[in-house]
Protein backbone atom coordinates (compact mmCIF):
# COMPACT_ATOMS: atom_id res chain seq x y z
CA UNK A 1 0.00 0.00 0.00
CA UNK A 2 1.16 3.52 0.44
CA UNK A 3 2.91 5.42 3.14
CA UNK A 4 1.95 9.01 2.93
CA UNK A 5 4.44 11.67 3.79
CA UNK A 6 2.84 14.87 4.90
CA UNK A 7 3.78 17.43 2.27
CA UNK A 8 2.47 20.29 4.41
CA UNK A 9 5.01 19.45 7.12
CA UNK A 10 7.86 19.26 4.65
CA UNK A 11 6.97 22.48 2.91
CA UNK A 12 6.66 24.32 6.21
CA UNK A 13 10.09 23.05 7.25
CA UNK A 14 11.80 23.66 3.92
CA UNK A 15 12.79 27.17 4.95
CA UNK A 16 16.04 27.66 6.89
CA UNK A 17 14.71 30.09 9.51
CA UNK A 18 11.67 27.97 10.23
CA UNK A 19 13.91 24.95 10.64
CA UNK A 20 16.06 26.98 13.07
CA UNK A 21 12.95 27.87 15.06
CA UNK A 22 12.01 24.19 15.18
CA UNK A 23 15.49 23.25 16.35
CA UNK A 24 15.37 25.90 19.07
CA UNK A 25 11.95 24.67 20.21
CA UNK A 26 13.21 21.10 20.43
CA UNK A 27 15.11 22.25 23.52
CA UNK A 28 11.86 23.41 25.13
CA UNK A 29 9.01 25.92 24.83
CA UNK A 30 9.79 29.60 24.20
CA UNK A 31 7.87 32.79 23.60
CA UNK A 32 8.33 34.98 20.52
CA UNK A 33 10.68 37.39 22.32
CA UNK A 34 13.15 34.74 23.47
CA UNK A 35 13.13 33.01 20.08
CA UNK A 36 13.73 36.31 18.29
CA UNK A 37 16.68 37.10 20.56
CA UNK A 38 18.14 33.61 20.51
CA UNK A 39 18.02 33.34 16.71
CA UNK A 40 18.96 36.96 16.03
CA UNK A 41 15.85 37.57 13.94
CA UNK A 42 13.28 40.38 13.84
CA UNK A 43 10.13 39.85 15.84
CA UNK A 44 7.66 40.26 12.93
CA UNK A 45 9.69 37.68 10.99
CA UNK A 46 9.64 35.26 13.94
CA UNK A 47 5.90 35.74 14.35
CA UNK A 48 5.29 35.14 10.66
CA UNK A 49 7.29 31.90 10.70
CA UNK A 50 5.57 30.76 13.88
CA UNK A 51 2.22 31.33 12.21
CA UNK A 52 3.21 29.12 9.25
CA UNK A 53 4.52 26.42 11.61
CA UNK A 54 1.36 26.63 13.65
CA UNK A 55 -0.89 26.32 10.60
CA UNK A 56 1.10 23.24 9.51
CA UNK A 57 0.48 21.69 12.94
CA UNK A 58 4.18 21.69 13.81
CA UNK A 59 4.01 24.07 16.75
CA UNK A 60 1.29 24.86 19.21
CA UNK A 61 0.88 28.09 21.20
CA UNK A 62 -0.31 28.35 24.77
CA UNK A 63 -1.04 31.55 26.61
CA UNK A 64 0.78 31.72 29.92
CA UNK A 65 0.30 34.92 31.92
CA UNK A 66 0.09 37.33 28.97
CA UNK A 67 2.83 35.50 27.03
CA UNK A 68 2.26 33.22 24.04
CA UNK A 69 4.54 30.24 24.58
CA UNK A 70 5.31 28.00 21.61
CA UNK A 71 6.19 24.33 21.71
CA UNK A 72 6.55 21.52 19.18
CA UNK A 73 3.85 18.98 18.47
CA UNK A 74 5.44 15.53 18.22
CA UNK A 75 3.01 14.07 15.66
CA UNK A 76 4.46 15.45 12.40
CA UNK A 77 7.96 14.29 13.36
CA UNK A 78 6.79 10.86 14.37
CA UNK A 79 5.12 10.54 10.99
CA UNK A 80 8.32 11.44 9.17
CA UNK A 81 10.45 9.27 11.40
CA UNK A 82 8.23 6.26 10.89
CA UNK A 83 8.28 6.45 7.09
CA UNK A 84 11.30 4.17 6.83
CA UNK A 85 9.83 1.69 9.29
CA UNK A 86 6.55 1.59 7.38
CA UNK A 87 8.16 1.28 3.99
CA UNK A 88 10.52 -1.49 5.08
CA UNK A 89 7.62 -3.43 6.60
CA UNK A 90 5.61 -2.96 3.40
CA UNK A 91 8.44 -4.31 1.25
CA UNK A 92 9.25 -7.12 3.68
CA UNK A 93 5.68 -8.43 3.50
CA UNK A 94 5.38 -7.85 -0.22
CA UNK A 95 8.60 -9.73 -0.97
CA UNK A 96 7.53 -12.59 1.31
CA UNK A 97 4.45 -12.92 -0.89
CA UNK A 98 6.59 -12.74 -4.04
CA UNK A 99 8.79 -15.49 -2.60
CA UNK A 100 5.73 -17.68 -1.96
CA UNK A 101 4.38 -17.01 -5.47
CA UNK A 102 7.75 -17.91 -7.02
CA UNK A 103 7.87 -21.13 -5.05
CA UNK A 104 4.31 -21.88 -6.10
CA UNK A 105 5.14 -21.27 -9.76
CA UNK A 106 8.14 -23.60 -9.59
CA UNK A 107 6.32 -26.28 -7.60
CA UNK A 108 3.29 -25.74 -9.85
CA UNK A 109 5.41 -26.75 -12.81
CA UNK A 110 6.35 -30.04 -11.12
CA UNK A 111 2.81 -30.47 -9.67
CA UNK A 112 1.43 -30.52 -13.20
CA UNK A 113 3.75 -33.42 -14.00
CA UNK A 114 2.85 -35.12 -10.71
CA UNK A 115 -0.91 -34.82 -11.31
CA UNK A 116 -0.47 -36.20 -14.83
CA UNK A 117 1.30 -39.17 -13.31
CA UNK A 118 -1.52 -39.58 -10.74
CA UNK A 119 -4.18 -39.46 -13.42
CA UNK A 120 -2.31 -41.97 -15.57
CA UNK A 121 -1.97 -44.14 -12.51
CA UNK A 122 -5.74 -43.95 -11.78
CA UNK A 123 -6.55 -44.69 -15.38
CA UNK A 124 -4.41 -47.78 -15.24
CA UNK A 125 -6.25 -48.92 -12.12
CA UNK A 126 -9.75 -48.21 -13.40
CA UNK A 127 -11.50 -51.18 -14.97
Partner 1 sequence: MTQTQIVRERGVPALRIERTFDAPVSLVWRSWTDPEILKQWWGPHDWTMSIHRFEPHPGGVWVYSMRPDAAPAADAGDPTVWGRADFVAVEVERRLEFRDRATDSAGEPHAGSEMTVEVGFVDDGGRTRLHIRTQSESQQLLEAAEAQGMVEGYVETLDRLAQRLRAGESA
In the complex, the residues that contact partner 1 under the rule CB under 8 A are 1-7, 10-11, 13-16, 19, 22-23, 26, 72, 74, 77-78, 80-81, 83-84, 87-88, 91-95, 97-103, 105-106
Q: Are 9 and 80 in contact (CB under 8 A)?
A: yes
DSSP 3-state helix, strand, coil percentages of the chain (rounded to 5)? 70, 10, 20
**Minimum distance from residue 105 beta carbon to partner 1 (Å):** 6
DSSP string, 56-96: TTSEEEEEETTEEEEEE-SHHHHHHHTHHHHHHHHHHHHHH
Cβ 4 to partner 1 shortest distance, Å: 5
Q: How many CB atoms lie within 10 A of CB 70?
A: 23
CB 66 → partner 1: shortest distance, Å? 27
For residue 65, the 8-state DSSP code is T
**Gyration radius (Cα) of the chain, Å:** 29
Residue 23 or 120: which CB sits closer to partner 1? 23
Shorter beta-carbon distance to partner 1: residue 8 or 115: 8
CB of 125 to partner 1, least distance (A): 35
- CA 116 to CA 30: how far, in whole Å? 77
**Smaller CB distance to partner 1: residue 98 or 117?**
98
Closer by beta carbon to partner 1, 22 or else 32: 22
Amino acid sequence: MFCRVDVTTLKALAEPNRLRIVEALSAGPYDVGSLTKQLDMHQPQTSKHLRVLSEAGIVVAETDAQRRVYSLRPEPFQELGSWLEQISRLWGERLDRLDAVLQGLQEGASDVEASHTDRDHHQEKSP
